[in-house]
Amino acid sequence: MSVFEFLLALYAIIAGIGVSLLVRSVGQMIEARDRVQLYWVHTTWLALIFVVHVVTWFALWRFHDHSPWTVWQALLLLAMPILLYLVSHLAVPELEDEAVHDMREYYFRQCGWIQGLMLGVIVSGTAAQIGIEGSPDASGPGVLRVAAALALLPGVFTRRPMIHATQAVLLLTIVALGISFLSKPIG
């Protein structure tokens, strides 16, 4: 097993736990649907978080020929699924009580942390890319990372609903464009 395969497996384990947590939480929302008041921005974020989990995992393939690996490079790469796990954890409240849950209220209580952690995912991914390849990515995906970071920044500091609604649409667009860069076969 190569070092890259080892790191990819470790990344997949951490990301898998995050995706599992996110899917479990959505399942809880479905079970508690009579007690959950949905909010479209929150629902959009759940989809975004899932897609970012998958896209970041596939994006690792760009490093499959890299050698040798340092511990620092591995830590920067593994920071992404760890931060995404935390985002997944914050994305949905525990719904095992019998209370009514307003996802709009919950979203605005957590949005600063969620968006700050997502910003951390972008920063750690960019730092890993620079640390591994020696330079920032000036191609389409690199530009989209910068656009996503700029789109996230206001949401870390403000709770204004119009800003968050605009962000949701903007981030969906950025993620859709990002997926188009990953449409080529990776093998």
Q: From residue 58, how far is each of 18, 88, 178, 186 by CA, in Å?
A: 15, 18, 11, 8
Q: What is the pLDDT of residue 184?
A: 61
Q: What is the pLDDT of residue 41?
A: 98
Q: What is the pLDDT of residue 183?
A: 64
Q: CA angle 10-15-21, nearest 5°?
A: 135
Residue ranges of E strands in the chain: 36-37, 101-102
* Angstrom distance (rounded) from CA 177 to CA 170: 11
Q: What is the pLDDT of residue 97?
A: 79
DSSP state of 101: E
Total Cβ atoms within 10 A of residue 86:
18
How long, in residues, is the chain?
187
Q: What is the pLDDT of residue 180?
A: 76
Q: Is 120 left (phi over 0), alpha (psi -120 to 50) or beta?
A: alpha
pLDDT digits 0-9 by tens, 91-119: 988 887 788 999 999 999 999 999 999 99
Taking 70 as the pLDDT cut, the residues of the chain under it are 181-187
Cβ–Cβ < 8 Å for 36, 95:
yes
Tell me the whole-structure pTM to 2 decimals.
Answer: 0.92
Q: Which residues contact 124 (CB under 8 A, 6 or more apart)?
A: 76, 77, 79, 80, 83
In this structure, what token pair is assigned to residue 163?
A: 């800003």
Q: CA angle 122-128-52, nearest 5°?
A: 35
Q: What is the pLDDT of residue 95?
A: 84
**Residue 37 three-state SS:** strand
